[in-house]
Amino acid sequence: MSQLFSIRFIGILIGLGFTVAVLWAFGNGAYTVISEGQLKPATAEHEFHKTPNQYAWSFDGPFGRFDQQQLQRGFKVYDEVCAACHSLKFVAFRDLEQLGYDEGQVKAFAASKQVPDVDPVTQEPTTRPGLPTDYFPHVAYAGAGNPPDLSLMAKARHDGTNYIASLLTGYTEMPAEVTEEFPDFAIPATGYYNPYFANLALAMPAPLADGQVTYDDGTEATVEQMSKDVAAFLTWTAEPTLDKRKQTGWPVLIFLLFATVLAYLSKQQIWAAVKPKKHG
């Protein structure tokens, strides 16, 4: 009896100790957040940074799907504008067939690009025309900054699709109130003001201008249209199986629901003849 009491007493002490540790950690963290928020001075980056605009996308929601025409327009924007600086190292040329391009179009596009290779005779690095099985080649950028690879950008940023579209449409002159409230804040000589970027300054100049590309489907190529199209395309590069995942998900959910109902009815049938014992 005394041994059982000792075990229970020790268990209670351990539980209390764990509870106290959790409460202390929570309280200390809350105090740190509150105190830092009160003591940390306001900054231009905090006051003037904007959250992404919320756009309507064809692939939103459980029944949403990619719009192939929009993806093709976005790919055109990437190829003619963004590809000069940004790579797509996780995308193979043959993946473009998912956008509705046929095998011949994919082969022709791949062949128009030079990919790295090794000379079989001299073993020296060389290049050759791409094949559908090759991946988009790395972009050697000679300017300032280090342009990121865009393959997973829509996943690498919070609310990535809206973030990309907002960023590309967000270039503007720095408002006068920024310097009025924060006289020490200044955009670097090589920077461009954009309130959707974390520090308000981008090394990349505004990449898009109205009419910069000519869409095959006749859509007017405004800055907003191109921004949304390339944002949708980069969402596809980050999650090319989105449509298939949604198509698979619904049958699985329906099957699980059916299996749950079947299991419940089976349980009722099996235990129907078993009467509970009466006490007393």
Token output for 64: 């949403």
The annotation status of 226 as a binding-site residue, yes or no, is no
Length of the chain measured in residues: 280
- CB atoms under 10 Å from CB of 201, counted, come to 17
Q: Are strands 201-202 and 192-193 parallel, antiparallel or unpaired?
A: antiparallel
CB 76 within 8 A of CB 233: no
The annotation status of 85 as a binding-site residue, yes or no, is yes
Token output for 79: 């190829």
Q: Which amino acid is present at 3? A: Q
Token output for 107: 């082969």
Question: In 3-state terms, what secondary structure has residue 238?
Answer: helix
The annotation status of 204 as a binding-site residue, yes or no, is yes
Distance separating alpha carbons of residues 199 and 47, to the nearest angstrom: 11
Distance separating alpha carbons of residues 264 and 168, to the nearest angstrom: 53
Question: In 3-state terms, what secondary structure has residue 83?
Answer: helix
Q: Which of 219, 226, 213 is nearest to 167 (CA)?
A: 226
- Backbone phi, psi, residue 46, to 5°: -75, -40
Q: Which of 99, 79, 97 is nearest to 87 (CA)?
A: 79
CA 66 to chain centroid, in Å, comes to 15
Q: Which of 155, 182, 150, 186 is nearest to 168 (CA)?
A: 150
The annotation status of 153 as a binding-site residue, yes or no, is no
Binding residues for heme c are 82, 85-86, 204
Binding residues are 82, 85-86, 204
